[in-house]
Amino acid sequence: MIFRVLAEATMVAHFLFIAFVVLGGFVAWRWPKAIWWHLAAAAWGLCIVVFELNCPLTYVEDWARDRAGQSGLSRGFIDTYLTGVMYPERYLNEVRLLIAAVVVFSYAGLAHRWRRRAPRQEAPRQEG
């Protein structure tokens, strides 16, 4: 029972991580220090896609499901729960581009907000 709960909790954590990869730049609009966490998460997400790595959370979920007497993921997390479920497999590259566009847009918006908030230095006043 505990391993099934662990597997399900890992699956939820994985979904939350993916949501943070996609939307974390917007979180930094409200909490600017979150950008460092998002940069790390986005870099990891990019490495997973580019180098076709398995996330450690996938290994944890597989391990827990195996201990619970269930079959593990036959494919990666995204291939199991998202591709072909949330969007057709033929649109995988378009979805990846859309995610990249969302991240870039969130960073552009964050940069704009930072520039607007930056204290402006006034030119020294000349007396005379």
Written as tens digits, the pLDDT of the chain (128 aa) is 999 999 999 999 999 999 999 999 999 999 999 999 999 999 999 999 899 888 899 999 999 999 999 998 888 899 899 999 999 999 999 999 999 999 999 999 999 998 888 666 565 667 65
- CA distance readout (Å), 60 to 22, 39, 51, 71, 96: 22, 23, 20, 13, 25
Domain borders along the chain are 2-117
Separation between Cα atoms, residue 58 and residue 55, nearest integer Å: 5
pLDDT at 81: 92
Query: Which residue carries 């991240």 as its tokens?
Result: 103
The residues, ordered by sequence, that sit 6+ positions from 64 with a Cβ below 8 Å of its Cβ are 3, 4, 6, 7, 10
